[in-house]
Structure 1
Amino acid sequence: MFCWRHLAMVADGSGLRPPNRWDALLTLRGVACCLVIVAHCGPPAQSLVWAGQDWSWLLFAPGGVAVRVFFCLSGYLIGKGFYTERYRFDRPGIIRYFQNRATRILPLYYACILISAAVFYPHSWQPNHWGHLLRLLTFTYEHSLPFEFNAPLWSLSTEVQFYAIAPLIFWASRRWLKTGQLLLVAMAAVTSGLMLYRFGVFELIEQLLGSTEGNPYFIRYIYTFLPANLDAFLVGFWLSPLMQKLHQNRPPTIDPAEGQTDPIEPGQGLQVRPWVALAWGRSILGLPWKGWAIGAMVLLYGLAAWWKYQGSDRVLLVAPGLTVLATGLFIFAFERRVYFSSGRNRPLSRSAMAANPLRAWELLGLLSFGLYVWHYPLLKVIGPLITNRSPLVAYGERLGLVFLGSIALASFTYWAIEIPAIRWRKKAQRSPERSLNDSNR
């Protein structure tokens, strides 16, 4: 049995200067957050016409798809933490895991609830809403409740619920999913199974209630329900052991990545198979893996935006499954060769961005938590102030002001709340081990 913690440290190359690699996953999280803002700002229909064609659908960002990108990324990062033994499966390791999750989520989350209730939603303090506030505080909130508040916080409830069961998922996965084939079968089963679940519950709601339009049962049992979103979390989670299997079976003629060492000798484990050679290859049909991954994300956006614009049920039923596939491909394409060293990248700084300008995109990911929790209350205030008669111009003004305001608030709370919480956690744990870029997780 490999000691993955030791291997990851070897892969880092002690004494070597850390790479200044663009963090594609952090960037993807930031872009997904921006798409949520675009969606919530309410783009107008039939407002972007060019050459006789209506292109307004390009503005109809699918916010639900973007949130499931978050879920898949979270699943991968949590799974990687366990499989690389950053979090050992023992009492100290589990305590460390929950400490890390708590200090990452709770300070800004509770600050957002307090400020939102005090400034943006003062009716929240009325006694008849105390139960709803309790739901928020205990991560059991979903926005079908008869309670006007910061609706996007539902996804934090779903995500924290996943964090609570992640150690059990790791235990079960390590025990029963021991081969790459079993992992792939499990991914296919959970993705197809939950797609069938969404179709089934959707049809049931329509049969019983006549419509799913604004229906709280759809939100409660499909959109926000943790079991209905487990495909995103689990596929991300299982990508980590799959990439470990890939490294165990690396063909001897293939280097993991330019300038990187691999802690596993090539050719170990099972005999190299065609799928392993394909996975290690740099391209498929002449197009690099990363090109396929970026193309899949662009295609996903286009399909989901078109379905949303047309009012198609596919954006609710098919798009979640496609999101899992596209995001899983993206993670695999960008992480497969640098799996053991991606967490030991050069910290994001001005000098790092000057040396690699592409890393400036990571700033969106770094601020994504704050952008996500602050944009909706700001929209509540800014939206009514926009009175431009042109729907497209009004939308542009609304989006611009909300985005700039969210950037400002997110930057402030990042330095005032998130960074101090991370520093406190590191000081409290007093661990000599190097962190896996905690501030970006």
Structure 2
Amino acid sequence: MLRRALSTSPTLSSAISTNNLLFRDYIQRSLYDPVGGYFTRGQSPVLGHETKINLCELQSRAAYEKAVAATYASASHGWMTPVELFSPFLSRAVAHRIHAVNRDESKVNIIEIGGGRGTLAADILAHWSEVAPDFLRRVRYNLIEVSPALAKVQSENLRHWVNLGTAKVHNVDARIWFQSLSSDAQQSEEMRSTPCHVVAMEVLDNLPHDLLRLGAGSVEQAVAILSENPPSDSTAIMLEWRSELDETTSAAVKAFDLLRSDENDHFISQQRDPSFLSRARVSFENMLTGGKRDLWVPTASYQLLKAISSSLSHAGMTISDFNSFPGALPGENAPVVQRVQQGSTVVYESVTAAPFGKVDIMFPTNFHALQRCHNSFAGNGVSENSYLYRILSQEKFFEEHSSEASINATTCKDGYNPVLQDFENASFLLVDKTSKVSAG
């Protein structure tokens, strides 16, 4: 299933000024601008379940799809994550994973980036209160949320745990929060001396990227040129191509090793389709770009991983996101850009054609490249640790970390299990220090 992104926010062209912006900066403003950003405006785009879908009571896959469709039909905007859709069972699998690698610690800091409506945190803490109360007493759960609207929802939904001092919501960009640990001696010492586990569920897909155009022996970087007087329903921007890469983009390309020739690990490998239609599309794209190809660079993900490695190099990680999207734009690691209009989903042909602040811009994650990026910090002085990495499909992760009761509770009467079979494009990256794994 493709995560559905629907939005009906008014355009606020005053939220951006006439300027020449690196593409990641334009995307950052479109998604997170305090005035008119998609995630930071007043109404949260993340849907929750007022009434949970009891999967085990559904007759079939068709009944499940009908129930999901009814949930979306009842909402005027927004989308639902697997965590929301499969609450509390997918959350319990994450809880089991964190507990398994930290159960012997005297204190554990959980740091969840982009906690949505707080559902994952609420499910995890409630689960530990039932099955591992001694462990729960040793846990401090931090949610790092850039959106004021979502931070407010999280605080409300986690009020019980916040009042107990178990959970705390920080309304700040995660990159800034991790960087701030270095300047706050007391907080830094507490975090550095305590086992930490970072959780990011569907965060990387909405982190800004830069756009490169690759030709024979040439690399150009896109700069967004913003119009001073954009139309009422859009932000008129043009692209300018520059032959010099900025320092962050260049470092990200190197850390992710995006220009490697090995097709098995190259970004395009996850999206490569040998079908006739796929080959025809590539040929058509080459005609439009003069034989050049576009490459989207996850620069914000690079900045985030660097900030985490610099401040908490000992942290374990559980990261989940989508490894591909149907209907993505042309290019490698290209996003899907879409919104709702009069009850229907509208997919845009480019980021530049989409109205500012009204669309969800979702990038696929190449998990092998993500692993290379994280591991690159271990060899450049940022971290002296060595890590064990595992990349799993959502199906394998849920099977490994769920009880038989959870699997039965998420299986329809005809044997169809949507947690295992629906989101085939969702993956997990698990990161542990090797000493931690061998000790466990």
TM-score (norm 1): 0.27
Between structures 1 and 2, the one with greater helix share:
1
Between structures 1 and 2, the one with greater strand share:
2
- Higher relative contact order, structure no. (Cα contacts within 8 Å, ≥ 6 residues apart): 1
TM-score (norm 2): 0.27
